[in-house]
Amino acid sequence: MQTLNHLPEDSTVYIDASKTVNIDHDVLEIIEDFKTNAAIKNINLHVIGYGGIEITNPVEEFRKAVVTTKVRDGVAV
């Protein structure tokens, strides 16, 4: 995040995620925050391969598993 914050105005930034299978939720949040703030400094941001990335949010995945998993006699069914 510090590197992104120190980029000079009127820069162009490419983040190439085209070979990425999974990006942690925290990293996606950093990219989204930077995207929002980049316009203020007239920074052109290009994210490549971002569309097909699986978002990893461990807390949300746990909630989904707990809510959708039924347990009968101590065994998930």
Strand bridging mode 54-56 / 75-76: unpaired
Task: Provide the 8-state DSSP code for 55.
Answer: E
Q: Can you give the pLDDT at residue 62?
A: 65
How confident is the model over 15-73, as pLDDT tens digits?
Answer: 888 888 778 888 888 888 888 888 888 888 888 886 644 444 555 666 666 666 566 77
29 beta partners: none
Q: With beta carbons less than 8 A apart as the criterion, state whether 54 and 25 touch.
A: no
Cβ contacts of 66-69, under 8 Å, gap ≥ 24: none
- The domain limits of the chain are 2-76
